[in-house]
């Protein structure tokens, strides 16, 4: 016996019981506690010196092995607009696409799926870089980092 839930929300959290009658043993029952967690986006701030290399981890609490099986993308946002920087598909883990006009050759994807920016410029100050990992067709883990650039 199985219970299939669609459009799962936090409100479906609770104790579920399955019971049925068997002959000659009587009623059998089993319970399961379902906990549905809301998706959370992690926010960080990174400081870097002008013209230095900046490395931003994708999801700081997840190992790179866990990320290698899922599609991911890095975006950069400022003034309410977002631009896709880098995308990576698990079917071709050694290949990724960098389609940024603004960042071009300054951004690279590190082996651990971190975003590497070199050299940093004053135009990077205040920008929000976000990593999106699609670990299920309807589930995305996100992490965003606001960059602060300081001159020497």
Domain residue ranges in the chain: 41-150
| Confidence (pLDDT) at 94 | 55
User: How do residues 51-73 score in pLDDT, each as one tens digit?
Assistant: 999 999 998 765 544 667 788 89
Between CA 30 and CA 35 the distance in angstroms is: 17
Question: 98-127: string of b/e by CB count within 10 Å (b at 16+)?
Answer: bebeebeebbbbeeebbbbbeebeeebbeb
Distance CA 28, CA 65 (A): 41
- Read off the pLDDT of residues 62-119 as tens digits, 9 standing for 90 and up: 554 466 778 889 999 988 888 888 888 877 755 566 667 678 788 988 878 899 999 9
Provide the sign of the torsion angle of the four alpha carbons 102, 104, 109, 114, taken in this order. negative
The highest-level CATH class for domain 41-150 is mainly beta
pTM of the model: 0.71
- Mean pLDDT, the chain, rounded, equals 84
């Amino acid at each position: 016996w199985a219970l299939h839930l669609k459009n799962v929300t936090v409100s479906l959290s609770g104790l579920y019981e399955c019971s049925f009658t068997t002959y000659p043993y009587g009623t059998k029952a089993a319970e399961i506690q379902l906990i549905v967690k809301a998706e959370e986006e992690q926010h960080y701030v990174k400081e870097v010196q002008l013209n230095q290399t900046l490395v931003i981890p994708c999801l700081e609490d997840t190992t790179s092995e866990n990320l290698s099986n899922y599609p991911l993308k890095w975006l950069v946002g400022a003034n309410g607009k977002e631009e896709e920087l880098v995308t990576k598909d698990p079917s071709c883990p050694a290949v990724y696409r960098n389609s940024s006009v603004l960042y071009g050759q300054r951004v690279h994807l590190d082996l651990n799926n971190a975003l590497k920016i070199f050299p940093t410029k004053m135009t990077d100050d205040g920008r929000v870089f976000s990593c999106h990992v699609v670990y299920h067709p309807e589930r995305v883990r996100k992490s965003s980092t606001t960059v602060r650039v300081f001159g020497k």
